Amino acid sequence: MATVSIIYWSGTGNTEIMAEAIKEGVESTGIDVSIKLVDIATIDDVKDAKAVILGSPAMGDEVLADEMEDFVSQMEKEGIKNKIAGAFGSHGWGSGQWMRDFVKQLKKNGFNVIGGGLTIHLTPGDEEKEQCRNYGKQIAEKVK
């Protein structure tokens, strides 16, 4: 099982681009990383990792995608707490409230959320992808 586990949902690919760049950032530190769509991820992907990085775009009215919402509920039911965590996602017209709420929820569950959650407006360009790589590196450094 990987040391860092990236689990995400993406409807139109923007959050997926972020996930791939975060993965590159983790890999650049030599830490092993797995990346999975939330639809196929299992709770073991979280349990066995030292750090979990969760991604979802802003959906509905400033909420997580249902698939990620369900996964986080499952994590809560399993009593998974106190891990190093990251949170990321793409958004459109909103102010980023979904991410502030997500980080708050993870913190409430005892997760050490690094960097307060990374948000990108719509499709990440080169600069934003670099931000994602740096975020991955930052989290990887914490598990070394």
> CA angle at residue 53 from 77 to 61, to 5 degrees?
75
Residue keyed to tokens 């914490």: 142
Cα–Cα dist 73/116, whole Å: 20
Cα–Cα dist 66/54, whole Å: 13
The correct pick among 33, 41, 64, 90 for binding ligand FMN (CB under 6 A) is 90
Stretch touching ligand FMN by CB under 6 A, among 7-15, 35-43, 68-76, 127-135: 7-15
The correct pick among 73, 92, 115, 116 for binding ligand FMN (CB under 6 A) is 92
Picking from 4, 13, 31, 8, the residue whose alpha carbon sits closest to that of residue 123 is 13
Residue 122 lies near ligand FMN (rule: CB under 6 A) = yes
Stretch touching ligand FMN by CB under 6 A, among 30-38, 55-63, 72-80, 99-107: 55-63
Residue 77 in tokens: 């039911």
Q: Which is nearer to ligand FMN, 1 or 122 (CB)?
A: 122
Summarize as ranges the residues that interact with ligand FMN (CB under 6 A): 10-15, 57-62, 90-94, 122
